[in-house]
Structure 1
Amino acid sequence: MVVLNKIYTRTGDAGETALGDGARVPKYSPRVAAYGTTDELNSHLGVARLHAQGETDTALSRIQNDLFDLGADLCRPDMASDDKAEYPPLRINDEMVKRLEAEIDVMNTSLDPLRSFILPGGTALAAHLHVCRTVARRAERLAIELSATEDVNGAAIRYLNRLSDWFFVAARMANDSGKDDVLWVPGANR
């Protein structure tokens, strides 16, 4: 359980922050950029939820919690010492990835196949989910970049990849099961 008695600590005033294992790194480090972007995604998702109801809101709530787990995963760099850690670190696992895939498959059953790219927009919920999709893609790119030089849980990268797909399909569902999707018309304004 986390207890935060005091919000400001002044420990980051010199431009460094602590990772989950206690190591201090610059706030601009690739690892901080990766988990910071998942936090940004979570904030966008909070705005999207203002327009969601029922099962969609329940799913988005679950994903918000997953994103905190993902941030915890990304801020804990030394995966080799997981078994020796005093507290086992949170790690995204392949079951979470499979859950997203199953949910995408269920949503896709009520959607017509795409015959054009779609523009981000439509309903307020769909527009916000498209923002979430693009921020998830950025978080994925940052996690992949980080994995080129440091340990990153592969399931975390897979989760981000599926999550952006999940947001895409959910945005189509929010557009009356794709009926209100805004279609791209190549060269329409030439």
Structure 2
Amino acid sequence: MKIYTKKGDKGNTSLFGGKSVHKSSQRIEAYGTVDELNSVIGMVLTYELSESGRDYLNEIQHQLFILGADLATLPEKTAKIERIGTAHIGQLEQWIDTLDEKLPGLTNFILPGGSGAGASLHMARTVCRRAERRVAALKQVDPVSDECIIYLNRLSDLLFVMARFENQEAGAKETPWVSRK
């Protein structure tokens, strides 16, 4: 199978189900940002991580492929794809609760940083928030399931908690943000 097909050379691409759309469409932008997030998580996986962190991120990468396929398939299409649903969201919430129990409470905002893994998880969190904004913008003009947005909202929360947890595991101190006024 060739990697290049030349079908997108004029700025169009096809959604699952065959509908042709411009590569600048909000739907392509949304699932493209999800793909970017998956790549950032792949980068995070190159760092030393806790066993649970590595397990969670490996599963999240698989779930992001499901989310990307969900976004690339119009809701009315009966394509046999898995869609992001409440079970995926519930799993993220369970992981958040598990990790959050092991962390000190927050009394200030914290600056992104810490260990390489922690700082990269903060980067993943910001890309996740951008993906969430892209999917929310798409939903204003085209049908998208509520679960897609909820999933990204929970995932960004998980990535924040994971950054804190991995920093704690690495012995990297959190830097509180303090107003300079």
Tell me if both proteins adopt one fold, taking TM over 0.5 as the criterion.
yes
- 1:14 corresponds to: 10
Cα distance between partner residues in 2 of 1:21 and 1:90: 14
Cα distance between partner residues in 2 of 1:53 and 1:174: 7
Out of 49, 70, 89, the residue aligned to residue 81 of structure 2 is 89
- For 1:28, the aligned partner's letter is S
Output the TM-score relative to the length of structure 1: 0.90
Cα distance between partner residues in 2 of 1:95 and 1:59: 15
- Is 2:118 the partner of 1:126? yes
Cα distance between partner residues in 2 of 1:81 and 1:137: 27
- 2:177 corresponds to: 184
Cα distance between partner residues in 1 of 2:14 and 2:131: 20
- Shift of residue 179, structure 1, vs aligned partner: 6.6
- 2:132 corresponds to: 140
- 1:167 corresponds to: 159
The count of residues paired between Structure 1 and Structure 2 equals 179
- Shift of residue 71, structure 1, vs aligned partner: 0.4
- 2:43 corresponds to: 47
Work out whether residues 50 and 166 of structure 2, in 8 Å CA contact, stay in contact via their aligned partners in 1.
no
Unaligned runs of 5+ residues in structure 2 are none
Coordinate RMSD, CA, aligned:
1.4
Cα distance between partner residues in 2 of 1:21 and 1:157: 22
- 1:58 corresponds to: 55
Identity %: 44
- 1:23 corresponds to: 19
- Shift of residue 149, structure 1, vs aligned partner: 1.1
Out of 67, 70, 74, the residue aligned to residue 70 of structure 1 is 67
- Shift of residue 67, structure 1, vs aligned partner: 0.5
Cα distance between partner residues in 2 of 1:16 and 1:81: 20
Work out whether residues 115 and 172 of structure 2, in 8 Å CA contact, stay in contact via their aligned partners in 1.
no
Work out whether residues 97 and 159 of structure 1, in 8 Å CA contact, stay in contact via their aligned partners in 2.
yes
- Shift of residue 34, structure 1, vs aligned partner: 0.2
Cα distance between partner residues in 1 of 2:44 and 2:77: 37
Cα distance between partner residues in 2 of 1:64 and 1:38: 10
Runs of 4+ in 1 over 3 A off after TM superposition: none
SS in 1 for 2:10: coil
- Shift of residue 6, structure 1, vs aligned partner: 1.1
SS in 2 for 1:80: coil
Work out whether residues 91 and 153 of structure 1, in 8 Å CA contact, stay in contact via their aligned partners in 2.
no
Cα distance between partner residues in 2 of 1:47 and 1:53: 15
- Shift of residue 53, structure 1, vs aligned partner: 4.2
- 1:154 corresponds to: 146
Unaligned runs of 5+ residues in structure 1 are none
